[in-house]
Structure 1
Amino acid sequence: MSHILLDCNLMKYSHSGLYHYCQHLGNHINRLLAAENQPLMQMYLPPRRKLKLDAEPHHLVEERWHKLFRPFLKDCRVWHAPFQSGRILPDKKRYPNIKVVLTIHDLNVLHEGKPKDVQQKSLAQTQSLIDQSDAIVCISEFTKSDVLTHCDVGNSPIHVIYNGLNKVDEQVGREPLSYKPAGEFLLGIGYQNQKKNFHVLLPLLESNPDLELMLVGHHDDPAYVNQMRQLAQSKGIDKRLHLLGTVSEADKAWYLSHCKAFLHPSLAEGFGLPVIEAMQFGKPVFLSTATSLPEIGGDAAFYFPSFEPEVVQAVYAEGMKTYERTPRTEAIIQNAARFTWEESARQYVSVYQSLMS
């Protein structure tokens, strides 16, 4: 196979989903290529000072002078741009033989209640990348439907390739360094912002006085985080609400393996990776019915049809009764097993090869 480059610029944000997406996808594609005695795909990484990765032969680190001269593009046949509001660097006039694969994770801006001008600006950015691309990959059928409805892909083929499961089974026996709950606890993982909708879970602490609620993830919107704290305080449940921010992978693994249930009431997702991370442990999972979540959770999850406090409390109570009375653990684990990075890598390599044939 000819030279393939994966643009990993967004790996400069080490706690982001895109960091893990690029890392897992790049590593698994290269395992597949190495097994077939093919040249490895290069990962075009941000400047070394922003990286937490050990250097590998297939790493190509961005330098300042790359803005003027990019010699690595000379032998490139496929450039993979992994995000719909990122960048595409190849100059098609100068490098007409380079084919571009664009991965679109979501058009969530359409589902977050943002003003029309914000939506249109975001769509225009995505459309500009589509116009420079030779093939489109969406990470869910829902995202593909959004793209076909709101964008013009022209004659470019559009594929659906699910993300793989980030296996978090290491060090699950070690107690967390961040905070260890005193008893049973509920868990949510994701950026702490309005879109993730975590505040609707607070009534569960009112109806379940023995439970704690752990929310793990970057405090993306400090105003929203403060709003949750104030709401919890007004309800007298603030001592059992823990907004932990980012934690280590080992701590995350411990929380996933020990939680009573995992809850993800998000209003907009392109995929929903934390959902299957929890499902690999056979945990009961409670989701919103928004965007891609029913596609990923399938019949193995429970769903909130709305977010009134009494509805959230009733769905949780009935779901836990069902989980405890009927054998569901294996079905939940099997649902998570549908998503593997090995299969994702195989499908991406097939897309690359189709552009070079």
Structure 2
Amino acid sequence: MKFPHTGLYYYCQNLGEAINQLLADEHQPLMQMYLPPRKKLILSPEPYHLIERKWHKFIQPFLMDCRIWHAPFQSGRILPNKKRFPKLKVVLTVHDLNVLHEGKPEAVQQKSLAHTQSLIDQSDAVVCISEFTKNDVLTHCSVGDKPIQVIYNGQNKLPDAIGDVVAYKPKREFLLGIGYLNQKKNFHVLLPLLQDNPDLELIVIGHQDDPDYVARMEQSAQKMGVQERMHLLGRVSESDKVWYLRHCKALVHPSLAEGFGLPVIEAMQFGKPVFLSTLTSLPEVGGSAAFYFPDFEASTIQEVYQQGMRAYGTTVSQEQIIQNAARFDWNKSAQHYLALYQSLME
């Protein structure tokens, strides 16, 4: 949770809070959340927060009475030494094996897989956040006889938008993209929509972690003559994100690889039309309430967008979109995780 405004950050925050709410309702001891140093956090302090200290490398007194350790990410760096704590059970959540779907060099793929496999080997149960990820794990990793199941993420708790947007207020109707700005997110394939629809702007919010990709997008937009209607805003506040979600014409998410795709259901809970790639977990999350790009040719992007906007409100209703988002609920996720924890302690 050192990196706010990311899917993993909200996964940890929302799941932890949902589990502790269920435990509090049952008058049970709360789950401790092991967090990075306080200076790197934006969370308000809570009694159940356990802050990482440098001396934890040598001694972890908090593990003496710990029954379940939940490692929330397949590339995590912190896992208890089970030789020292043989009664401790470890649950590992695998969000994705996206390294296999991003065109990375074979050596990079194998290094990432080896690390994930080492965590699986040290775990007692594995959770995946989509069926697609589960299939990837079973295909490329060795789980043995460990239980493996899918527990979906829930909807993020979005704050109410108060007042006007701060970052940038569009002058026209706009399409919204949310996510890290890099090659994997594939936002550049959307630029032809601006060429064919002069009444539209494109706004992309999220950390710009690949400067070369950002520069290529800007160069492409300039060549197409649409640079004034493309706005790559980087990180914005949560209230600004909510404003963009409430006011956008549609969410566009042509990603090449996702473990889940939280922006999809963030937009859907507002009844917005959502346009996705057909890759990895996205069809699983968007269901029949989303529109899909079968490829990324400019003509296909434009055709799917036009057909989808014509279908929006008729064959695909706002209510259908909202109901699809409602399938994903942190309270349900927390119930499934608690049941898994309990099964390992029996």
> Does the alignment reach a TM-score above 0.5?
yes
Quote the residue 1:16 is aligned against. 6
SS at match of 2:312: helix
How many angstroms apart in 2 are the aligned matches of 1:262 and 1:49? 33
Quote the residue 2:120 is aligned against. 130
Determine which of 55, 67, 84 is the counterpart of 1:94: 84
Determine which of 70, 80, 104 is the counterpart of 1:114: 104
Quote the residue 2:22 is aligned against. 32
TM-score, scaled relative to structure 1: 0.96
Determine which of 285, 292, 313 is the counterpart of 2:302: 313
User: 1:327 Cα deviation (Å)?
Assistant: 5.6
Q: Which moved more, 1:263-272 or 1:317-326?
A: 317-326
Q: What is the percent sequence identity of the aligned residues?
A: 71
Quote the residue 1:192 is aligned against. 181
The CA deviation string for residues 158-193 of structure 1, in whole angstroms up to 9 with x for no partner, is 01000000132512x521100000120000100000
Please tell me the residue identity of whatever aligns with 2:80: P
How many angstroms apart in 2 are the aligned matches of 1:255 and 1:100? 39
SS at match of 1:102: strand
Determine which of 303, 316, 323 is the counterpart of 2:292: 303
Please tell me the residue identity of whatever aligns with 1:95: F
Quote the residue 2:129 is aligned against. 139
Task: Check the 8 A contact 2:14/2:157 in 1, yes or no.
Answer: no
SS at match of 1:202: helix
> CA distance change for structure 1 residues 327 and 290 in 2, over 3 Å: closer, same or farther?
closer
Quote the residue 2:163 is aligned against. 174
Task: Check the 8 A contact 2:159/2:238 in 1, yes or no.
Answer: no
Quote the residue 1:156 is aligned against. 146
Q: Which moved more, 1:69-78 or 1:173-182?
A: 173-182
Determine which of 284, 288, 302 is the counterpart of 2:277: 288
SS at match of 1:344: helix
User: 1:88 Cα deviation (Å)?
Assistant: 3.8
How many angstroms apart in 2 are the aligned matches of 1:35 and 1:267? 41
Please tell me the residue identity of whatever aligns with 2:214: V
Please tell me the residue identity of whatever aligns with 1:314: E
How many angstroms apart in 2 are the aligned matches of 1:244 and 1:266? 18
Please tell me the residue identity of whatever aligns with 1:317: Q
Determine which of 210, 213, 216 is the counterpart of 2:199: 210
Please tell me the residue identity of whatever aligns with 2:268: M
How many angstroms apart in 2 are the aligned matches of 1:47 and 1:267? 33
Task: Check the 8 A contact 1:105/1:143 in 2, yes or no.
Answer: yes
User: 1:325 Cα deviation (Å)?
Assistant: 4.1
How many angstroms apart in 1 are the aligned matches of 2:33 and 2:312? 43
Please tell me the residue identity of whatever aligns with 2:232: L
**Runs of 5+ unmatched residues, structure 2:** none
> CA distance change for structure 1 residues 273 and 327 in 2, over 3 Å: closer, same or farther?
closer
**Runs of 5+ unmatched residues, structure 1:** 1-10
How many angstroms apart in 1 are the aligned matches of 2:77 and 2:29? 25
How many angstroms apart in 1 are the aligned matches of 2:316 and 2:66? 51
Quote the residue 1:85 is aligned against. 75
Quote the residue 1:8 is aligned against. none
Determine which of 320, 329, 342 is the counterpart of 1:331: 320
Task: Check the 8 A contact 2:98/2:259 in 1, yes or no.
Answer: yes
TM-score, scaled relative to structure 2: 0.99
How many angstroms apart in 2 are the aligned matches of 1:207 and 1:327? 24
How many angstroms apart in 1 are the aligned matches of 2:44 and 2:300? 48
SS at match of 2:67: strand
How many angstroms apart in 2 are the aligned matches of 1:260 and 1:166? 20
RMSD, aligned CA: 0.9
User: 1:16 Cα deviation (Å)?
Assistant: 1.8
How many angstroms apart in 1 are the aligned matches of 2:329 and 2:315? 27
How many angstroms apart in 2 are the aligned matches of 1:306 and 1:329? 25
